[in-house]
Amino acid sequence: MSAGFYRAFEDRYRGSRELIKQRLRAYEPFFAPLRTLQDPPAALDLGCGRGEWLELLGEQGFRAHGVDLDDGMLAACRERGLDVELGDAIACLRALPDNSLAVVSAFHLVEHIPFDLLQTLVAETRRVLLPGGLLIMETPNPENLVVGASSFYLDPTHLRPIPPQLLAFVTEFGGFGRHKVVRLQEEAGLRGDTPIALINVLDGVSPDYAVVAQKDGEAAVLAPFETAFHAGYGLALGQLAQRFEQRLVDRDDALRAALAQLEEHTIDSKLRLAGAESGLQGVTRLSQANAARSEELAHALAELSNRVHATEVAQAQAEEARRQIAALLASSSWRITAPWRMVGGWAHAARAALRARAKAALLGAARTLQRWPRVKRLLRPLLLRIPGMTRIYQASIAASQAMPPEAQAPLGDMSPRALRAYRDLQSALKKTRKH
């Protein structure tokens, strides 16, 4: 590899020193209790790179030493006065005495070495650590599908990804008392119950993880680390997958509920529509009936109007007649002619009474002649000479036959002329009887 390549590569893709130092503070719950093991606690950083971890430990009071095979990376450490050396990590461990260190760290180293050297590193670290001392190994997390399938291979010195379960088992198999998988550097927005999308399942898992293994020791030595080893860290693939699946289930439930509500609303709308259509039909029928009734009422009103008009006309005519009669009665001519109208009325009444009496006399005579045929034969020549008398006689005969006999009118009720005629008839009848 070209001189300076790896330092330039780290500067481009690993991130700034400030960013890396900030990320490394996630280990504070583990390294803070190490001060109870030594004063000051001794630390060895394998593959120290640019020295961010060494710088942080120095700030926390550790006596830190680093080793790396890339002299270009060590130059950045020397620029800051850090205690580093050029050399092999395994050789450096083997040169240290037993139970001499509080912490051994290897950040993004194990993915660069063969697996047998990894096991050797774990074994040698356990030897040099104090009881209760820690081994910290950080590496890219292949649970993050984007990391495991793509970004891991961006570094040309990487050999292969190491799953968390494998690295944890290596420490367990190497004799460490306990270990903890610490997932790191996930997006803060994905923590909690925030709804996630499919892309978050693919690349939202913590992109890095570390296995923190602790060497056995007395209970009092291990007690300060209990909180750190029992806490939860980061996001695993299974967690995000379950949250995404739960989101799908919740969405399906919400869709089913919405569909059920929509169906209910649809049914209700159909019922309302049916009711509206029925009501519309009823309204239409009622409107038609009202139209027919309105037409009948219009005809009745027209007829009533005509009658009212006719009544008004008749009343007007009657009023006009009353007015004319009142005017006539109030006129001077009516008052002047009043005696003449009275005399005329009397004359008309007298004529009517005379006609009635004459008619009664003739009817009586006709009945008498019917009883005496001889008198009838004697009077016939006389009647023929007077045509008017003949008609009167014939009418009297017909009336006498059609009407029942009446009582003879008293002679005092006859007019003088009728009385003379009656007497002449009586005299003629007497003569006839003598013969």
Domain boundaries along the sequence of the chain = 5-235, 348-434
**The pLDDT of residue 310:** 73
pLDDT band at 97 (very low <50, low <70, confident <90, very high): very high
DSSP of 364-427, one letter per residue? HHHHHHHH-HHHHHHHHHHHHH-HHHHHHHHHHHHHHHHS---PPPPGGGS-HHHHHHHHHHHH
pLDDT band at 426 (very low <50, low <70, confident <90, very high): confident
Name the CATH architecture for the domain at 5-235: 3-Layer(aba) Sandwich (3.40)
In which residue are the tokens 């009887």 written?
Answer: 433
Q: Is the pLDDT at 400 greater than 60, yes or no?
A: no
**The pLDDT of residue 407:** 47
CA dist 21 and 153 (Å) reads 24
**The pLDDT of residue 376:** 63
**The pLDDT of residue 343:** 58
Question: Residue 270 contacts by C-beta under 8 Å, 6 or more apart in sequence?
Answer: none
CA dist 306 and 166 (Å) reads 114
Which of residues 331 and 412 earns the better pLDDT score? 331
Q: Is the pLDDT at 39 greater than 70, yes or no?
A: yes
What are the backbone dihedrals phi and psi of residue 211, each rounded to the nearest 5 degrees, phi first?
-105, 120
DSSP of 140-185, one letter per residue? E-TTSHHHHHTGGGGSTT------HHHHHHHHHHTT-SEEEEEEE-
**The pLDDT of residue 99:** 97
Q: What is the torsional sign of CA 177, 181, 182, 185?
A: positive
CA dist 21 and 15 (Å) reads 10
Question: Residue 225 contacts by C-beta under 8 Å, 6 or more apart in sequence?
Answer: 30, 33, 132, 214
